[in-house]
Chains A and B, each alone.
Chain A
Amino acid sequence: MSFLRVRDLTVTFTRPGQAPVRAVDGVTFDVGSGQSVGIVGESGSGKSVTSLAVMRLLPARNVQVTGSIELGDQDLLALSARQMRDVRGRDVAMIFQDPMTSLNPVLTVGRQLVEVIVRHDGRSVAEARRDAQALLERVGIPDPARRLREYPHQLSGGMRQRVMIAIAVACRPRLLIADEPTTALDVTIQAQILDLLRDLVEESGSALVMITHDLGVVAGLCERVHVMYSGRIVESAPATGLFARPAHPYTDGLLRSIPRIDDEERGMLHTIRGSVRDVVAWEHGCAFQPRCDHAVESCLGGPPPVHDLTGAPGHRVRCPRPVHPATPATGTGRSEGSA
């Protein structure tokens, strides 16, 4: 059985006097033990809200979370706030996008590491300090003993993200959620951080959910990919299958928008027309329809069903007219799940 099972997760933001906004709409996916899963989508697609919902870090007021989130044998949505605090950092930890603001500026790096280790491992501060030094060394920070005594502002962006990673893996969580961990870093550092993440995950056997808008990151890191659009998963596939044969017109458009160094024609870059705001409510049809080149009238006749692609095990797409020629099997009516 999978380690993380998310079923029909729906997150609705309600504000008095305003129409509710459904940021995540019936999302279902699994993450197996030690598996790396990517969630890809553009800004506003609901990928970050999904991760915050799994961590139960969304504000309690004006936010409705329904569906179920199971981690191991625990139903996260049923846990008390206190029980959930025990889960966070111990069973599942998160790495955030901006290392410049995600560390407390008035505490030394060492104290922030020690705080987590003492909190979950129940060790003495002296033991925790030794662990902290080993952790900094493990994430590739030179002279860790000195760095422990330094404040975040004395570290570069890449270093800080290494510290954030060290803090996240300090208590050996079985699931790591990385929310765009490389977006705020420059390209050379990005590669280093991704290498580090891959090594750490392989070494510890923990599962990884990589949230990103960068398909390149997913290609190098993940076994399975879910593509989100406007709050729903529109395509799920093994990473190799997704890149070899994107089925959803949106995925296809994304992949074709990536400039290739071996491109024959030096023309304009491919774009997806329109913007994320040109959305059809999912109840009325496919949200991507206004931007889709393959759209037909029937795309607006109710919510599009999810199909298994024939000849591609575990490849599911929420589109009646997938880009690649393989004929879709008859819709199962179920929402998308994992392989």
Chain B
Amino acid sequence: MSTPEQVAATRPTGGDEAIGSPRPTRGLRSDALRRLRRNPMAVVGFTLILIFVGVAVFAPWIAPYSPKDNSWLSEVRPGAYPGPSAEHWLGIDPLGRDVFSRLVYGARQSLLIGVVSLAVGATVGVGIGLLAGAFGGWVDTVVMRLVDIMLSVPGLLFAIAIAAMLGQSLTSVMIAIAVVNIPIFARLLRGEMLGQRAADYVLAARSLGISRAGIVFRHVLPNSFTPVIVQGTLTLALAIVEAAGLAFLGLSGSDPSAPEWGRMLTDAQVALTSAPQLALYPGLAIVLAALGFTLLGESLREALDPKLRR
């Protein structure tokens, strides 16, 4: 019988110990972060998001005028809208307001809707997915059929129905977008958890008498969460587009002067032939903000995908 010291001393020659990692301790997450920094797609996406969030947060300091100030109405003639100038960088809209200021404040609205609807949708969706994935069996069957029903209704139509039901307000837009996202998160997490439940390390944990809750929360859930993070990022992009869509359709609130990219598109409609740039600005803003989150989401997926890891 040998002491631990002997055991350690007699066997360091095998390839076994020699291959040990010489690098300092590092987790999977920081590994992914390193890969992310090297990916130009991620850097571009992150920069776009940074600009978007920065503009939203510092809107009052960036915008030269109030977004609702229509004191330049007198300068507007039907068919002739003042273009870019030193006072009004992006010109004046058909209702006599500063376009640049409205664009800047619009970022606020978009970010708010995106973040709140994501938070609500992801939380509820993850909860439902966790329920189905943790219990399986008939709980899974019942819950997932309900989710299937939610999923079978086209997203935008669903959102319009909810907005119509709850009345036109910012809150109903956020609820609508959140509800549309619930089944996506629920299905994603549930599927991932079912897959992980069959993993060897789960069998090993069960063979050690770990409780059911311990297995779900310490073993299965943390290993199933990566796609949820990726989906969350992509969902933000979608939420911004959906919010603009709902605003464009006039479902976003009772105050027609509220600065909103979707509503700016609506307002630009009357001037589309004479001043198409008025539609271009909010359109570009929507695309760039959504692109930022999409790029980051896609590169997150790549960075976290264990199949690409080596």
- A-side residues, CB < 8 A to B, are 55, 57, 85-90, 93-94, 96, 98, 101-107, 115-116, 119-120, 137-142, 146, 149-151, 153-159, 164, 167-168, 186, 188-189, 192, 196, 199, 202-203
Contacts and interface: CB of A to CB of B under 8 A. Distances in A.
A86 B12 CA distance: 36
Contacts of B209: 85-90, 116, 119-120
Nearest to A168: B208
Contact of A149 (B14, B19, B25, B201): B25
B222 interface: yes
Q: Which 7 A-B pairs have the closest CB atoms?
A: A158-B16, A89-B208, A88-B209, A89-B209, A101-B200, A156-B19, A154-B21
B1 interface: yes
B2 A104 contact: no
B136 to A, nearest CB: 10
A88 B204 contact: no
Given A102-B204, A104-B218, 5 more contacts: A85-B210, A89-B208, A115-B210, A115-B214, A149-B25
Contacts of A157: 16
Nearest to A141: B8
Contacts of A196: 7
Interface in B184-224: 199-201, 203-211, 214, 218-219, 222-223
Given A140-B7, A156-B19, A105 B223 contact: yes
Contacts of B16: 156-159, 188-189, 192
B87 interface: no
A253 B15 CA distance: 34
Given A57-B207, A93-B208, A115 B15 contact: no
Interface string B101-113: 0000000000000
Given A140-B4, A202-B1, A105 B201 contact: yes
B241 to A, nearest CB: 33
B308 interface: no
Interface in B1-47: 1-2, 4, 7-8, 11-12, 14-17, 19-21, 23, 25-28
Interface residues of B, number: 37
A94 B207 contact: yes
A36 B215 CA distance: 31
30 contacts: A57-B207, A85-B209, A88-B206, A88-B209, A89-B210, A94-B204, A98-B200, A101-B199, A101-B201, A102-B200, A104-B201, A104-B223, A106-B28, A106-B222, A106-B223, A115-B210, A119-B209, A119-B214, A120-B209, A140-B11, A141-B8, A142-B12, A142-B20, A151-B25, A153-B28, A155-B21, A158-B14, A158-B15, A167-B204, A189-B16
A241 to B, nearest CB: 26
A28 to B, nearest CB: 23
B203 A137 contact: no
Contacts of B201: 101-105
Contacts of B208: 88-89, 93, 115-116, 119, 167-168
A137 B4 contact: yes
A308 B306 CA distance: 54
A221 to B, nearest CB: 15
B7 A138 contact: yes
Given A115-B210, A192-B14, A146 B199 contact: no
A119 B207 contact: no
Most buried by B among A86, A115, A120: A115
Contact of B15 (A101, A138, A186): A186
B8 A137 contact: yes
Interface of B: 1-2, 4, 7-8, 11-12, 14-17, 19-21, 23, 25-28, 199-201, 203-211, 214, 218-219, 222-223, 306
Nearest to A196: B7
Contacts of A55: 207
Nearest to B2: A199
B25 A150 contact: yes
Contacts of A146: 25
A305 B4 CA distance: 48
A134 to B, nearest CB: 8
Contacts of B219: 104, 107
Nearest to A152: B201
B200 A192 contact: no
B205 to A, nearest CB: 7
Contact of A105 (B12, B14, B23, B28): B28
Contacts of A101: 199-201
Nearest to A137: B4
Q: Which of B26, B27, B223 has the largest number of chain A CB atoms within 10 A?
A: B27
Contacts of B218: 104, 107, 115
Contacts of B199: 101
Given A107-B218, A120-B209, A192-B11, A164 B28 contact: no
A79 to B, nearest CB: 12
B223 A156 contact: no
Contacts of A139: 7
Contacts of A102: 200-201, 203-204
